[in-house]
Amino acid sequence: MIRWKVDRGLEARMLLTMFLLAVIYLAFLAVLISQGVNNMIIIIFMGGFMLFQYYYSDKMILSNMGARIVSEREAPELHQIVSRLCAIADLPMPRIAIVNSSMPNAFATGRNQKNAVVAVTTGIMQKLDHSELEAVLAHELTHIKNRDMMVMTIATFLSSVAQLMVRYLPFMGGSGGRNRDSGGSFIVIFVVSLLVWILSFILIQALSRYREFAADRGAAIITGQPSNLMSALMKISGFQVPTEDLRKVEGPVKALFIVPALSRSSIMNLFSTHPSLEARIEALERIEQGLVS
Amino acid sequence: MGFLDSIMGKTRLPEAKTDRLFAISTAAVTMEANLGLVPDGQAGLCIKPMESSYYESAKKEIEDLLSLSFQETGTLHTIQKDEYGYIWVVLTDPDFEDLVTNIQMICQILIEQGFGTQLLAAVYRFKGEAAVYWIYSFKLGSYYPFAPKSGKQRDTAMEFRLRSTMQRELPIEKDMAKWYPMWGMPL
């Protein structure tokens, strides 16, 4: 049997990020409580809203994306791939949806494993071959298995509260000034909320990227073939290995039209929910190398 | 090509980079152990066409040298033109080390004769479920994998596997936009 190495580094970074988020949130709550119970209304309101959103996430996202649930008869190949992957990953069979869009994309949603939905666009089905599609679906199923929807909802909850405070506190502070003291606490809450919002935003993005790495890893483990996901990721991002023959392109002008397809930028990475293609491929290559050595 | 050369409009083709060509000789072991791919007993050298009279004399020269030096190793060879007009020296030998050594030797001869800039690629064929190739580009000085499927399609996933498993042993071209395929090779 193949032994899959556990990625300790990834686990450690994920734990650290979640720990830092918890610290920030606790501090935020402490400040809110010390500044008066009034603010609790916002938290309760936001909590209700997020709970609603979480509970109905599948329906909301599906209708936002224009996804249509398809039966086994309508998409037999998709159902077959997913049911096989679910058997391997020990997951209940999710519903399957198709988005009518030429953009190659796929996503998973749903509040728990029983209510999960996996959706693919028509574009991705055209672009990828069978084994690449399988790798992408395995990536989405790993999101479901890792309960990423729940993790990210919890992680973003207080961040959304802070964001709400920053946006609407100036209006509320102006109109509801019952006593002179509220001016001081208003500024404190505003500044703290702003800080919490910014810091938690960066941490949440980092957490999201780690969850993506984990899902890539899961896809590699479920399918047993990291190379299929690498190839799928490259195709989705619009890059393809050239198909023009070497002997045809061999000429003095070739340097003009060859643009570097991959580029690395670290500042932008801080603000993105997905890791760069290059980083994902590198991580998958390490898994592949771990497989054979 | 230097900056001065370019503004003066002097065209000088880059010299062939052969220093890392030899790396394939040890890679065959890993290819078999990790991917189940074995050398297919064939290797080829792709040379850019030269003016016909030149070509004829060069061809004869190569032929003479080859038949002379291949008596020892028992390597078979053919020289042919492909659909693009490129010249191919195709070697057949069940012993992979002999193939590598002989390809290396032909390159040496061609460079000594002043044909170094005409060297395009060296290709090694491996067989598994389907044939895969390692292409060495003399311009890049590095290898890249090529796994053709039917209908001028590439098995990209296979090429990725080849890259990740062989990365430690072979100098593989990093920029995948330069992994140009070679369709319909005579090997």
List, for residues B82-136, the tens digit of each pLDDT value.
888 888 999 999 999 989 998 998 888 888 877 888 899 999 999 988 899 999 9
Domain B21-178 has CATH 3.30.70: yes
* Closest by Cα among B125, B124, B102, B106 to B115: B106
Q: Do A259 and B121 touch (CB under 8 A)?
A: no
Beta carbons within 10 angstroms of residue A19's beta carbon? 11
Looking at A140, A212, A250, A278, which residue is catalytic?
A140
Contact between A132 and B34 using a beta-carbon 8 Å cutoff: no
Annotated active-site residue A140? The verdict is yes
Question: Alpha carbon of B116 to those of A251, B12, B113, B119, B120: distances in Å?
Answer: 16, 12, 8, 6, 9
Instruction: Using an 8 Å CB-CB cutoff, list chain B residues near A243.
Output: 152, 154, 181
User: What percentage of chain B reaches a pLDDT higher than 90?
Assistant: 38
Please report, rounded to a whole number, the percentage of residues in chain A having pLDDT higher than 70: 85
Chain B residues touching residue A260 (CB < 8 angstroms): 175, 177
Q: Which of A123-127, B7-11, B74-78 has the lowest mean pLDDT?
A: B7-11
Summarize chain A as % helix, strand, coil (round to 5): 70, 5, 25
pLDDT at res. B12: 67
pTM for the whole structure: 0.79
| Average pLDDT taken over every residue of chain A | 84
Say which amino acid occupies A31: V
Q: In the predicted model, what is the mean pLDDT of residues B124-149? A: 93
Average pLDDT over residues B38-44: 94
3-state class of A228 per DSSP?
helix
Distance CA A22, CA A204 (A): 11
Residue of chain A whose alpha carbon sits nearest to that of B148: A243
Q: For A26-74, what is each residue's pLDDT tens digit? A: 999 888 888 776 667 778 888 888 888 888 888 888 898 899 999 999 9
Q: Which of A102-116, A175-189, B173-187 has the lowest mean pLDDT?
A: A175-189
pLDDT of residue A277 exceeding 90: no
Q: Is the pLDDT of residue A12 over 90?
A: yes
Q: Give the mutation candidate from B45, B46, B83, B164 for the A interface (greatest A CB count, under 10 A).
A: B164
Contact B11 A252 (CB under 8 A): yes
Pairs of CB atoms within 8 A across A/B: 92
Cα–Cα distances (Å) from A149 to A141, A205, B183, in that order, read 12, 14, 46
Tens of pLDDT, residue by residue over A122-156, are 999 999 999 999 999 999 999 999 999 999 989 99
What is the residue extent of each domain of chain B? 21-178
- pLDDT value for A38: 66
Amino acid at A172: M
The B-side interface with A (CB below 8 A) comprises: 11, 34-35, 46, 48, 82, 84, 86, 120-121, 135, 137, 152, 154, 156-161, 163-165, 167-168, 175-183
Does the structure show a pLDDT above 70 at B72? yes
Q: Which residues does A contribute to its contact with B (CB < 8 Å)? A: 131-132, 225-228, 230-231, 234-235, 239-250, 252, 258-262, 284-285, 288-289, 292-293
Higher pLDDT, A182 or B141: B141
Provide the residue ranges of all domains of chain A, joining segments of one domain with +: 8-238+263-292
